[in-house]
Structure formats: structure tokens, C-alpha cells
Structure 1
Amino acid sequence: MILITGATGLVGSHLLLHLLQNGEEVRALYKNQENIKKTEALFRWKNQPLLFDKINWVPGCISDIPALEIAFENIDYVYHCAAVISFNPDDEEQLRKVNIEGTANIVNFCLAKNVKKLCHVSSIAALGDLQEQETIITEETEWNPEKPHSDYGITKYGAEMEVWRGEEEGLKTIIVNPGIILGTGFWQNGSSEVFIRIKKGLKYFTKGATGFTTVNDVVKIMAALMKSDISKERFTIVSEIIPYEKLSRTIAKALGKKEPSINLKPWQTSIAWKLDWLVSTLFFRRRNLSRATAKAMHTHSNFDNSKIKNALNFEFESIENYIAEVKNTF
């Protein structure tokens, strides 16, 4: 049997659907019934309500040891998708507890229960830092602890260290490092929230660029890697390097909305994150814009996807085509 953590999130829900469509027996970890409704909605949209009924749901989270004892009974393979995704500095403690300590718990249970293989979902935020003469980030690019990183990136890197520890102790592992994931069914949070913002009339864009991929490609690659003999490897999952301006315009065009027209300069977003910090401090509200996010909006990051393409002979789907396909689903 297969266990999926983070089964009610974007990747976990789509992975559940993909595995069940391929005849796998799946157990899913969930925190509350409300979260399950999002996964059920995805299965209904995909016209697969009968497959949803085959999921073996287990209540709990990756920080709940007694719940994990139950969840890991008779498990052969584990897909670890659970994580906190936040660039708010106020969430540092939660990021460390879930992303690092939670991953350590999963690794420990995999070892104790003789799990055959673990697939860990990391992020491009955990990949290394370019040296002066380098232009593209690969799986072998070294992490430089002296360079600034977001708390999210630091904790995802820390989680990877726990996975490699498991590998050294005898656990077969795979790590995937997806770029920004676009997917259906979870429009109110995460990376897909950009669709809602543009639908409401987003006016601004920045000149940065980064790697994007679709949730379909992510789950297909994860499943293929788990069935393969490949282990002790990490793979960058990036379909295309897309400027934020181009992505915003592509989505706006697909939705029939006005394209963003105001180019925010670095000095403007610098002022914005400082003002946001001041307002959040004075009025005790959550941050909307962090320093790390403001910087990323103007950074052009280039990632190499050749390793996964060669390992699986994999061809990524077009981001533009995917946007056109899902435009009417929210």
C-alpha cells in the first residue's frame, strides 16, 4: 500500500487521483474533514467520484506520532507531499516544525517500518546558489549558507538533509524539486492564486522570471521515479523559465481580462515590503509582502531540467496550453 502525506493539498490531491487511476491502493493522511472536501471536489471535476471512495483516509499530521503509527501500518511506499509554504517571516517556527521536524518523523517511520522507497517533494527554493561564472542552477549547484535565503527555502533544504540521512541509514529515496506549480482546484491559496488575482484585475507586473511547471507533470514524474530503480537522486521539475510579466499576460489573455500594465520597479517593491512590515507590526496583522518575496519578484532564475528529461525520457507539457485548458475551471 502507498501512503501520501499532504494528501489534501495541490500535489497530494492530484497524486491521489493519478495513482488511483493507475490501479494503486492508497492511504491518505489528513488534518480535518474540511480539507478533504477540496480533494473530493477535484475528483468530481475529473468525473472520478468512484475513485474517491477508494481512498483509505487516516486522520493526523506529520507531527502527530500516534497518528503516524496507524498511518504506516502495512505501507510499502511513501510520497511525502506535506509542507508549510510561506514566505512570511512570522511563520519561521511553524516552517521549521513542519518542514524539517515533520520530515524527520516521516523518515524515521520509513526506516522503522521497512518502507521500500520514499519520494520527498522539495522545491527549487532548496537548490543551490550560483557562483560568479555560473548561469544556470542544476541539481549539483552547491548551497551557500552565507547567502540570504527565505525561511521557506532554508527549511526545505533542512528537510532534504533529513531525507539524505534516511538514505544513509538504508532507506531508498527520491527528491523532486518542482518550480512554481500551476494546477486546478486550489485557487484560493498557493501558486494558483495568481489566476484569481488576474481575474479580479491585477494591474502590476515585475521583470523577474523563474521556473514553472504543471501539477500534472509533477505527479507523473513522481510516480515514474518511484516505479523506477532510481534512488539517492534529486530532480529539478521545471517545464519552462517564464518571466512574471509574460505569465500574467498569458493568463489575462486566456481569461479575457485586461493585461497588467504597470511595471513595478525594485525600489517600489522595496518600499512596499517595508511599509507592509510597519503596518503589520502596528496593527498585529499578517504580512502580505516579505523582503524575500520582494527580491524574488525582480530576480531572473534559470534552472536546468535536462536531468529528469534524460532519466525518464520525459517531455513537459506547455504552460501556455495548460492555462488555456484550465481557464474555465474556477
Structure 2
Amino acid sequence: MDGGCIFHFFLNDILEKVYQPIYGVERRMNIFLTGATGFLGKKLISKLIKQGHFLYVLVRNEKKFAGLLKGNTAIEKQQIVAVYGDITNPSLVKDHTVINVMENKIDTVYHMAALLSFDEEMKKETFSVNVDGTRNVLEFSKRIGVRKFIYVSTAYTVGKGVIGREQLYSTEQEFVNYYEQSKAVGEEVVFSYKNDFETMIMRPAIIIGDTKTGEADTNFALYGLLKGIRMMKRIISKNDFYKTKSFRVVFASETNSNLVPVDYVADVLAVASEHGEKETIYNITNPNPLSNQTVFNIIKKTLQFPNLEIGSIDGEYELTKEELMLHEKMRVFEEYLSRSIEFDSQNTRTLLKAASLEELDLNEAVFEHMLLSYLQPELVTQ
């Protein structure tokens, strides 16, 4: 029996068990996910498994799949099946027998796979993954007859606007980078399939770590800033003047950045398959974002760096080489730090209410706990 036939037999054998009870909960849905090996994907999978769903995950190779399964119990592993492929492949999957096995059996697709790059030189690759790749997943979903398609986009398809609405934006508006534009185009492509299955768009803001553990798997955005400040502190702490001299970070302290913990985003996504409305957009955002000044003060406290200050963006400064190094790392985020965006999240509130969940409350105490939990290993060794 060849590999394709073995895989076909294996999946059919598992599918016969799909609706057997587990943990006292009946498995309600068969779900197909892309981007499952990412930080958000792993959090979502954990929640979907606990809800009793049966999952197919698109992965590139066995090593990726093995990494995804780490931390799951033997029983939980039985709820996850690998589908080998790549979203940049027009046919999506390597083994076409998968199509026959999955046909008319998938309730919901979560499409999370994306290329997050702000590099202008990566425009072609960004659009290839985020637009063409999305279309490939949509075509595959149409071919196997799925019922719902949930597209994980970004709240920053708002571009350079300051009001974030739960509706499609023009793809011709001004964007901060090609990533934003590619996701906006991807949204339009998703809604163009609304006659083939129910479509929804989920737009998280800036995803940060877990509220309970502080766990984060990125050096992007907030964590890029943290990494830069830690590096600057290490360098200058070797000098005698370290504790007597002030050091400066220059950005708009009166604005805010919309930060959303990964576990909250996963909570919203997990209930969307059951409670989400078709042709609806959900802003997964923070209704009461902390100001950049507050975030900065908490960073100073957790990094034990009291002589670090914010300099006004209107001031004129002669920055040290260490300060210049930090600002060079922050340059890619300047547009996000320089303005506040007011996001409407009425659809998300309605969704959460239907699922008996509360909207995010990321207060100063929770945020400080997250940073301390994330930084603890390094702080202990200092």
C-alpha cells in the first residue's frame, strides 16, 4: 500500500471517530486551520481542543507538526491531524487524496497563515503569501465544500486613518506598509467568496503575550522595543556614568498603541465558529488602551531602568550612539507610535456576549504582570 493510500485509510479511520465524546464533551466541529504553528495558532488550537473539536492543520513538514504537538496529551493528539502543504502552492496540499477525505466534512476554516513583513523590498513575497495564498486556501475550501471561512486579518487595514470601523476599507487608500495593504486586499478576496460559504473577517490589533504567563514568541512591536531598551541598558551599564546620567527615548507619549493579549484574541477566534455572523468583520481590539506614557513607565519599572526618559518628538536632541541604536530599531514602528486610532468593536462585543464572555480589560496591573512574567528569567540573572 503506497503512502497516499495509507494516509487516506488513516484519515477515514479517524473520521469515523470524529463525533465520539471526549472529556465529557461531544466534538461539535471538524476544523481546518492554516498558520497553526504560529504563536496565535497554538493558543487557538489549545482552546479548540478543549472545546472538543477535531482539527486538521496545514503544516509544511513533519518537524513543524511534531513541534505543534508538544505539550499536548496523548488523547489531545488524537484530535489533531496533519495536512501537509503550503498556501503558496495553488493546489495547497501535497497529497490530493486529502481532498476526497475532507470533502463535505469541514465545518470551519481558520486562515491565519500570513507573511508579516514591513520591508518594502519584500512586497512581491508579501502579496504572494497574503493575497495569492489566501486565494489558494479559499479555492481549496470551495473545492471541499466547507461551511464557514474565518480570515484572520489585522486591525491596521485601517491604513493611515484614525477611525477603525468594522467594515471593508478601500484598497486604494494610503497604507503605512505593504503588509497592511496586502491584508486589505486579502479581505476583499475573502468576501468575494461569500456566495460559496459563510465568510468572516477577524482583525486583531497588536498582539502581545499571554495575560497569565507572560509568554510571548516574537521580537516584534512591544517586544522589539523591550529588546532594544534591554540591549541599550546592558551596553551603558558598563560605564561609570550609568546611574547618574539620563537616557532618552523619543516618541509621542500622549498617544496610545492598541495592544491585545494573545489569549484574548484566541478566545474571540474560538467562539467565532459557533457565534460569528456571516459577512461580518470583527475588530479584536482594546477598548481602553493604555497610553504610550503608561506603557513606557511600566517598562522602566520592570526593566529597573529609572533614569530612562521619554523625549518629546518636538524637541531637538543630540542623541548618544546607544540612543541612536535604539531609535534605529524603533524606526519601523514610528507610524504606530505617533498616532492613536479609535477602533469600533461593537460586532466583537455582540459576539462575546453571545458566548457569555467579557470584553478585554487590560489594566496597568495586568500589563505589569505580563511584562514581569516575560522578563523574569533575564531579571533574575542580572
User: Please, what TM-score do these two structures have when normalized by structure 1?
Assistant: 0.79
Q: Distance in 2 between matches of 1:13 and 1:32?
A: 16
CA shift for structure 1 position 204: 2.4
Following TM superposition, the consecutive aligned residue runs of length 4 or more in structure 1 with deviations greater than 6 angstroms are 266-269
Change (3 A) 1:119 1:12: same
2:188 is matched by which residue type in structure 1? M
Q: Distance in 2 between matches of 1:156 and 1:142?
A: 11
Q: Distance in 1 between matches of 2:251 and 2:64?
A: 33
Pairwise mapping of residues 1-330 of structure 1 onto structure 2 (< 5 A)?
Answer: 1-32=30-61, 35-36=64-65, 39=68, 44=71, 48-50=72-74, 53-54=77-78, 55-68=80-93, 69=96, 73-74=101-102, 75-127=106-158, 130=161, 136-140=163-167, 142-143=169-170, 145-167=172-194, 169-184=195-210, 185-191=215-221, 193-194=223-224, 195-200=226-231, 204=249, 206-207=251-252, 208-228=255-275, 230-239=277-286, 240-254=288-302, 256-258=304-306, 260-263=308-311, 265=313, 293-313=333-353, 314-318=358-362, 320=364, 321-325=366-370, 327-329=372-374
Indicate if the aligned counterparts of 1:210 and 1:302 stay in contact, CA closer than 8 A: no
Indicate if the aligned counterparts of 1:79 and 1:120 stay in contact, CA closer than 8 A: yes
**Secondary structure of the corresponding residue to residue 96 of structure 1:** helix
Per-residue CA deviations over 1:266-319 (Å, capped at 9, x if unaligned) read 7989x9xxxx9xxxxxxxxxx9666x6433331222212233113332421425
CA RMSD of aligned residues (A): 3.3
Which residue of structure 1 aligns with residue 8 of structure 2? none
Q: Distance in 2 between matches of 1:192 and 1:32?
A: 31
1:81 is matched by which residue type in structure 2? M
1:4 is matched by which residue type in structure 2? L
More deviation in 293-302 or 320-329? Answer: 320-329
Identity %: 21
Q: Distance in 1 between matches of 2:118 and 2:166?
A: 23
CA shift for structure 1 position 96: 0.3
User: Please, what TM-score do these two structures have when normalized by structure 2?
Assistant: 0.69
For structure 1, the residue ranges without an aligned partner over 5 or more in a row are 277-286
Q: Distance in 1 between matches of 2:146 and 2:302?
A: 44
Indicate if the aligned counterparts of 2:39 and 2:217 stay in contact, CA closer than 8 A: no
Per-residue CA deviations over 1:229-280 (Å, capped at 9, x if unaligned) read 51110011112333334223324434545574243627989x9xxxx9xxxx
1:219 is matched by which residue type in structure 2? A
Q: Which structure has the larger Rg over C-alpha atoms?
A: 2
CA shift for structure 1 position 140: 3.6
Change (3 A) 1:32 1:198: farther
Aligned length: 304
Change (3 A) 1:289 1:327: closer
More deviation in 296-305 or 246-255? Answer: 246-255
